[in-house]
Amino acid sequence: MTHGDLLGLPHHPDKPAPVRMYELLYSSLASQLLIAVAEIGVADAFGDEEECHVDELAKRTGSDPHALYRALRALATIGVFTEVQPRTFALTPLAATLRGDTKGSMRDLARYVGLPARQGAFNSLVYSLRTGRPAFDHVHGTDWWTYFAAHPELSALFNKAMGSMNLMVNSATLEAHDLSGVRRLVDVGAGKGHLVATLLHRYPEMTGVVFDLPHVVAEAAEVLLAEGVADRAECVGGDFLASVPPGGDTYVLSWTIHDWNDEDATTILRNIRRAMGDGGQLIVIDEVLPEGDSAHFGKFEDIVMLALLKGQVRTEAEFAALFENAGLRLKEVRATQAATSVIVAVPA
Ligand SMILES: C[S@@+](CC[C@H](N)C(=O)[O-])C[C@H]1O[C@@H](n2cnc3c(N)ncnc32)[C@H](O)[C@@H]1O
């Protein structure tokens, strides 16, 4: 079986360019189909069964049997579901990530990616290309963070989706970087606190601060309680463009600095530098773009930042310059199993 590349279609360099372009232009259909089958809960509909006839899956998900067959047949070409007998499908490891009931589930992420408010921005990508400004703001008349603060149900889905990604990134990060000896870790833009919960669980001597916007940290207590670490964690609501909690020996920015342009990112980093004292360290968990044509998922994530936020994904040189402006020095960059790297900065 041949599975697709990053964009969902097999890459055959010997294909005529118009044929390949035709395929590329249609490649977003893979994403749209994944979002749709996640929404109707096809992976969950297997229950405990290893394989299931499409008519039964259609009954369980309230969908049209032939339409669902066509969807699963298409997704099977990229390794999501497999047709084990005519019209009978099984979950593949990729398809299983769309179940809602598993650790590491990507179902909430799929539903978040499919939000009409988010997709609408990509329909106006030309605006971002022409102006360099977020299409999201152009379409919705307000910026991303204000929009989500005003829509609690979307904010809850966004935070859950970030939590799913965080689980994936956490394990890769923990394998790449030893944090023994860290006394007090402050996660800046911590979301619901999944990373702090995982780290406190792993390092019994560590205490942690979950710092995020007030309406976001309000959701963190349940995550910390579930990991049994609530007694060593503090939740602080605030605005990192104004200040961050002092007293940490280690500050973390996980999947957060890429949401901001250089000016705002420098403000956030300066606030962290001020809070950390001379012996501290900052750990940034983020994508680091290779220069030139080299393939990297972050080069597409960067387009998400362009369309939705004033952010950007950065190269190592861009990180180094950003740190320098904030009184920090890039100490090391370590690749991980995920697309993200661990970037360590210390006071200059
Ligand atoms: C892309 S999410 C990353 C969340 C988390 N670190 C993770 O790895 O899943 C960025 C986080 O920054 C937070 N944030 C945005 N603006 C903020 C502000 N002005 N002050 C504090 N946190 C903010 C958001 O609420 C969100 O949780």
Going along the chain from its start, the domains and CATH numbers come out as 17-101 (1.10.10.10), 116-347 (3.40.50.150)
pTM of the model: 0.88
Using the atom order of ligand 1, give the atom closest to the CA of residue 216. Answer: 25
- Residue 112 near ligand 1, beta carbon < 6 Å: no
pLDDT for 3:
40
Amino acid at 51: E
Q: Which residue has its alpha carbon closest to ligand 1 atom 14?
A: 189
| Phi, psi angle pair for 62, to nearest 5° | 65, 45
Nearest residue to 208 (alpha-carbon basis) of 189, 186, 223: 186
One of 151, 177, 201, 258 is an active-site residue; which one? Answer: 258
**DSSP, res 4:** P
pLDDT for 288:
96
**Which whole-number Å values give the CA distances from 334 to 84, 331, 337, in the listed order?**
41, 10, 10
pLDDT by residue, tens only, the chain of 348 residues: 334 454 445 556 678 999 889 989 999 999 999 999 999 999 999 999 999 999 999 999 999 999 999 999 999 999 999 999 999 999 999 999 999 988 779 999 999 999 999 999 999 999 999 999 999 999 999 999 999 999 999 999 998 888 777 766 766 676 678 899 999 999 999 999 989 998 999 899 999 999 999 999 998 999 999 989 999 999 999 999 999 999 999 999 999 999 999 999 999 999 999 999 899 999 999 999 999 999 898 999 999 999 999 999 999 999 999 999 999 999 999 988 778 899 999 999
- Residue 260 near ligand 1, beta carbon < 6 Å: no
Sign of CA dihedral 122, 81, 255, 348: negative
Q: End-to-end alpha-carbon separation of the chain, Å?
A: 52
- Pocket test of ligand 1: the residue of 174, 209, 256 to mutate, having most ligand atoms within 8 Å of its CB, is 256
Query: Is-catalytic flag, 296?
Result: no
Q: What is the length of the chain?
A: 348
Using the atom order of ligand 1, give the atom closest to the CA of residue 285. Answer: 8
| Contact (CB, 8 A) for 216 and 301 | no
3-state SS record for 74-127: HHHCCCCCEEEECCEEECCHHHHCCCCCCCCCCHHHHHHHCCHHHHHHHHCHHH
Q: Which two tokens stand for residue 66?
A: 């032939």
- DSSP element (H, E) containing 55: helix 54-61
- Pocket test of ligand 1: the residue of 164, 212, 343 to mutate, having most ligand atoms within 8 Å of its CB, is 212
